[in-house]
Amino acid sequence: MRPTGMSAPTAQASDLARAIEIGPAEIDHMSELRHLHALSARRLAAGMLSEGEIIAFANHIYSEAYSARIAEIVRVRRLLAARLDGALVGTAGWTPANDAGSVARLMGVFVSPLYARLGIGRRLVEAVEAEAHQAGFAVYTIRAPLGAAEFFAQLGYDVASHGVWPLDRDAALPVAFMRKVAPIKTTPKP
């Protein structure tokens, strides 16, 4: 019996979202990580990016440079993986964005198209923000492909500027450079 007022698809989606486990990504799963990132980029960007931009982004994901960067974030345990019954369904990570230690850059935020719009991306972003905050970072940035900018805006990110992300010599991806400042938590005075 489902709760009053909740439709069957909503109840099923909610149950599915609760079954998702989030934990550190493992270096042994690099192929799986790159595959998820490329699949997500291809499917979720369809209609928002040109076919050439989608192909260039997928090629970038399989490049040595991208693989090395993701491997380093996995090695330092800053890439989280969302799994459902052991299957990878999403990732999100962070890295310090500057030497001052005040800004964290989110990266690798991808959700499998089969599991999009179930709150997995939100949970992953909130989890990496919490990790970065615990490490002393209070400002979060992301270089969001234009199709993802609305998602990050819903999570409190503001567009600082627009530009391009050079993927290789011949291709660049239009992006929104977005920023969010963590709310300052105050304790009530007696």
Write out pLDDT tens, residues 62-91: 999 999 999 999 999 999 999 999 999 999
pLDDT in tens, 129-142: 999 999 999 999 99
Residue 1: band (very low, low, confident or very high) from pLDDT cuts 50, 70, 90: very low
Residue 55: band (very low, low, confident or very high) from pLDDT cuts 50, 70, 90: confident
| Cα torsion through 46, 160, 108, 146, rounded to 10 | 0
Model pTM score: 0.86
- What residue ranges define each of the domains in the chain, with the CATH number in brackets? 21-181 (3.40.630.30)
